[in-house]
Structure 1
Amino acid sequence: MNQLAPAERLLIGLGVQDPVDIDLDAIAWTVGVKVKYAPLDNCEARIVGTADRAIVTIREDATPGRRRFSLGHELGHWHHDRGKCLVCGSDEIGNPLANNSERAADRYAADLLMPRFLFDPAVRAAGKVNFAMFRNVAKTFNTSVTAAAIRVVEGKRVPAMLVCHGAGGRKWFVRSQMIDDRWFPQEQLSADSPAFDVQFGGKPEINLPMKIGADAWFDRHDASWYEVREQSIRVPGNETLTLLLFDDDRMHAR
């Protein structure tokens, strides 16, 4: 087994052997954190604590998957940033472009909700990588589709990239460790990409990944030499989430 992250060590210490055992409220109690669900304005969650006790408040009208990730995120702050009073907005939780403290809290949340010792075997058993698979894995681990997709793509199983766009352009992206980092997605969606019609044309989501020229996504002199497979869905916040699969091993990291 690979070296365990702190959140994974916590889960093993509590005897967690199945995704259904990941009861975040109970886990929070074991580390001295009381959890409340209440209306919050302009933020998703906040934590206030002393030396060994804290109270986390989670926005009660968020989706169940969002509430769970927000709680995992705040427990990450409790692990990494104890002694601080922190308020986390919607653009900080689950945002790969957030500052180092927020990204560390996100990693803790991902390790807590989707520990690799349970998650990776579930992904291997789930079949082909696409949004149907992401949805199945998200259901198993009681997370959002976005959180499950990021966890899959950031692993070493598949050469893929996940890109999120809003009406104003690219919001964030993550790539697999298998992809060469010279492949950096364009800021704006190309009209040649099916994702453009999903974001701006009201087109239904794409059921399966489809081939498209890589130059629709990447502004490189050699992009037209390659193809990728693309699948896009709508996600909350008037955003489009796109999976790009890199089947051509010339695009892989060396």
Structure 2
Amino acid sequence: MTPGEHAEAVIESLGISSVEELDVEAIAFDAGVEVVYEQLSGCEATLVGVGDRAIATINPSSYRGRERFSVAHELGHWTLHRGRSFRCRVDAVEDNFSSSTALEKEADTFASHLLMPASLFHEALRGVDRPNFKQLSDVAQRFETSLTATALRLVGVDTLPVIIACYSKAGLRWQAAAKHVPRRWYLKDTVDEDSFAYDLLYEGKECRILGKQSADAWFTNSDADRYEVFEQCVRLRGDEVLVLLYLADSKMLSAGFDPTVGNRKYNEHGSYLAPRGRR
């Protein structure tokens, strides 16, 4: 099973059928993990296990969503990677999302599914056909998760053609796209001056609504100027913005193969073509 399927199986085995029943400490205890809150230095959570019991030590936070994700993340390690000890930086899901550490990404995926199970998340999204950060904030509040984790879960359920990305003044930090968004759409390395994200990042101008934007403000594809997308952005900690792109134009979802964009090349079947000399 995938990490997400493992988490969904836990939810099903416990008979959880409502958001209110998502008591992550109780779920962890049932799995043999005692959760302890203590001040930690250099990390946000640790996991130490012996036999079929473990202790997850979580750095206390004034933000409940951070604590919940930390607990779920450590439970993911216990479920998927038993036999190891971990010291994790799970204070923000985007830290591990941009990490190259496979085990941390797997634990994040487990945590996202555990805190936002597919059936309950779909129910929370009912009626949402053009997503925006206000709606996602409402969903995040209901599940007691961060806005970033909730936005990434929206990408993961793959019901809407959305791309989530994080930019700083230095450029693109990470990105995630719903599976049915063609990989031919290649984001720019830095925010474009015509984008709302640029206005927020450099001028502090808030982007309160999902606004229409020319697609060539975001994508390097030579035909991007033929299309429009909906964009909204919010500021994250420090010098970063979280961007939501909604591809409302169905023609963007059926656009043909574009072999010219970025450093990654894909053939007409969507298969990766390694650069010359690396095959």
Alignment partner of 1:74 is 2:74: yes
Distance 1:179 1:143, change over 3 A: same
Instruction: Decide which of 105, 108, 116 is 1:106's aligned counterpart.
Output: 108
Q: Which moved more, 1:235-244 or 1:22-31?
A: 235-244
- What is the CA deviation profile of residues 112-162 of structure 1, one whole-angstrom value per residue up to 9, with x for unaligned ones? 100001111211245641111101111111111111111112222211101
1:182 aligned residue: 184
Distance 1:90 1:75, change over 3 A: closer
Q: Within 2, Cα distance between the matches of 1:166 and 1:220?
A: 22
Distance 1:180 1:112, change over 3 A: same
- What is the CA deviation profile of residues 223-242 of structure 1, one whole-angstrom value per residue up to 9, with x for unaligned ones? 22221110011123442111
Question: Once the two structures are aligned, what percentage of the paired residues are identical?
Answer: 39
Distance 1:59 1:166, change over 3 A: farther
Q: CA deviation at 1:75?
A: 0.7
Structure 1 residues 1-254: aligned runs within 5 Å = 5-61=5-61, 63-90=63-90, 93-94=93-94, 95-98=96-99, 99-126=101-128, 128-204=130-206, 206-252=207-253
Unaligned runs of 5+ in 2: 256-279
- What RMSD in Å do the two structures reach over aligned CA positions? 1.9
Q: CA deviation at 1:76?
A: 0.6
CA contact 2:66–2:92 (8 Å) conserved in 1: no
Distance 1:169 1:110, change over 3 A: same
Unaligned runs of 5+ in 1: none
CA contact 1:160–1:175 (8 Å) conserved in 2: yes
Q: Within 1, Cα distance between the matches of 2:22 and 2:157?
A: 21
CA contact 1:161–1:243 (8 Å) conserved in 2: yes
CA contact 2:66–2:91 (8 Å) conserved in 1: no
CA contact 1:96–1:174 (8 Å) conserved in 2: no
- What is the CA deviation profile of residues 54-110 of structure 1, one whole-angstrom value per residue up to 9, with x for unaligned ones? 111112136211111111111111111111011112588443333221111111101
Instruction: Specify the SS of the correspondent of 1:207.
Output: coil
Distance 1:169 1:90, change over 3 A: farther
Distance 1:210 1:126, change over 3 A: closer
TM-score normalised to the size of structure 1?
Answer: 0.91
Q: Within 2, Cα distance between the matches of 1:226 and 1:72?
A: 40
Q: Which moved more, 1:157-166 or 1:5-14?
A: 5-14
Q: Within 1, Cα distance between the matches of 2:29 and 2:83?
A: 17
Q: Within 1, Cα distance between the matches of 2:221 and 2:130?
A: 29
Instruction: Specify the SS of the correspondent of 2:157.
Output: coil
CA contact 2:137–2:147 (8 Å) conserved in 1: yes
Q: Between Structure 1 and Structure 2, whose CA radius of gyration is higher?
A: 2
Instruction: Specify the SS of the correspondent of 1:102.
Output: helix
Name the aligned partner's letter for residue 80 of structure 1.
Answer: L
Q: CA deviation at 1:243?
A: 0.5
Distance 1:88 1:221, change over 3 A: same
Q: Within 2, Cα distance between the matches of 1:139 and 1:47?
A: 27
- What is the CA deviation profile of residues 196-229 of structure 1, one whole-angstrom value per residue up to 9, with x for unaligned ones? 121221112x121111111111112222222111
CA contact 2:216–2:225 (8 Å) conserved in 1: yes
TM-score normalised to the size of structure 2?
Answer: 0.84
Distance 1:242 1:39, change over 3 A: same
Q: CA deviation at 1:249?
A: 1.7
